[in-house]
Every structure is written in structure tokens, then in C-alpha cells.
Amino acid sequence: MKNHLIIYYDEEGDFLELNIGEYKEESYFKNLGKGVFEIIDRETNKIRGIAVMGFKKRTQGLKDIKISLPVKIELTAA
């Protein structure tokens, strides 16, 4: 699943994670503040995804879910 967008949501923890490709054990989270994190591949030092704590709480009352995140992710086809 290389270069596929993988979306994971933990309802109990209210945690959203968006990854490009499978999550790697060698990755680490860089805290951007306010519960938003970049997921960095330790081997390549590239951003592989983003994580948002309190996702559902942030989107309560919204008709459409639109959240501006402080990271830009480029997707490329293999």
C-alpha cells in the first residue's frame, strides 16, 4: 500500500491519524502544538502523515468537517 492514504480513527481516544502508506515503527511524532503532530519517517526524515488529538471535539457542531492543519502533504502516484 505504498503511497496510499490510510486513515485511522480511535473513537475512544478521539485521535485521528492520516498516513501515507503503512505506519513504520521507525517513525516519530513531532509536536506542532495544540494537539497536532507530524509523523516523520526517521530513515528519510520526510513527513509521512499527521495526527490530531481531540478530532471529534474539534468538529462538534460542524455540518461538514473542515479543519485547517499546519502541514502540507503532497501525494504522489507510484
Phi, psi of 57 (to 5 degrees): -60, -40
Cell numbers placing 26: 521507525
Q: 6-53: per-residue pLDDT in tens?
A: 888 888 998 999 888 876 778 999 999 989 999 999 998 988 999 999
Residue pointed to by grid coordinates 491519524: 17
Instruction: Report the alpha-carbon distance of residue 11 to residue 30 in Å, rounded.
Output: 22
Cβ-based burial of 36 (10 A; exposed 0-12, middle 13-18, buried ≥19): buried
Residue 63 pLDDT > 60, yes or no?
yes
- Give the pTM: 0.69
What's the CA gap between 38 and 74, in Å, rounded? 13
